[in-house]
Amino acid sequence: LASKVNSIKQFCADLADRGLIASLHPAYLSNSDFAAASALPDVVYAGFDPTAPSLHFGHLIVLANLFRATLHGCHAIALVGRATARVGDPSGHTSDRLVAPEEVVDENANEMKSVLENLCNNFTSDYAEARGRLLVVDNADWHLKMSSLQFLDICRNFRVGEMLRMGTVKARMRSGVGLSCAEFLYQIFQSYDWYRLSRDYNCYFQVRA
């Protein structure tokens, strides 16, 4: 994926004009009216974890921004985190996150994918001016095909010291509760999502709420 005319800069400027940017990483992207964003491919993504059987109100602003990105000519990817939902994101939790059984996660993911695909199709039908494509992708497509030894090979690229400096990890360690090995490794699963999105879809830009 990549459109011929870069549109990330215009999309970022639009978000800023509407007061929808709380933070940027790296922060210098906002310099000179988002000039640095012009170097990025015109592909954006947002993640949707199937921790519930349907989308909820909190997903609205993220989904709306994906749709709006296509009006600026960006391609947009809705990433369903079927695999990472089985690991458990420790962010914002003071104790181990309760992870639903595999069959429940699968049911949630299937329902979420269906709803997202319908919404994307409806948007594409109603907004002919949208120049970007909308895709729904499931991270189980790559995570569930990976063996434990293949995952260990990926882990060799990460240093424990750097992982311990992550804000979520530090907060849990200071609390005395700690965190499970699965939650500690969540950031590696998430990093591999980034790698596959960049390699397979030329995507380097994430939208979050």
Task: Please state, rounded to an integer, the average pLDDT across all residues of the chain.
Answer: 89
- For residue 134 the two structure tokens come to 């909308």
pLDDT number for residue 4: 46
- The values of phi and psi at residue 135, to 5°, are -130, 145
Query: What are the chain's domains?
Result: 8-206 (3.40.50.620)
Provide mean pLDDT across the span 79-101.
Answer: 85
Lowest mean pLDDT among 23-37, 39-53, 71-85: 23-37
Beta strands in 52-124 (DSSP E): 75-80
Beta strands in 83-183 (DSSP E): 134-138
Residue 201 · residue 1 · CB < 8 Å = yes
pLDDT band for position 3 (50/70/90)?
Answer: very low
Residue 75 has pLDDT above 70, yes or no: yes
β-pair partners for 206: 45
Residue 29 has pLDDT above 90, yes or no: no
Provide mean pLDDT across the span 11-33.
Answer: 84
- For residue 36 the two structure tokens come to 């640095």
Angstrom distance (rounded) from CA 153 to CA 135: 29
Lowest mean pLDDT among 82-91, 142-151, 156-165, 171-180: 171-180
Give per-residue pLDDT as tens, 140-158: 999 999 999 999 999 999 9
Cβ neighbour number for residue 10 with a 10 Å cutoff: 20
pLDDT number for residue 104: 96
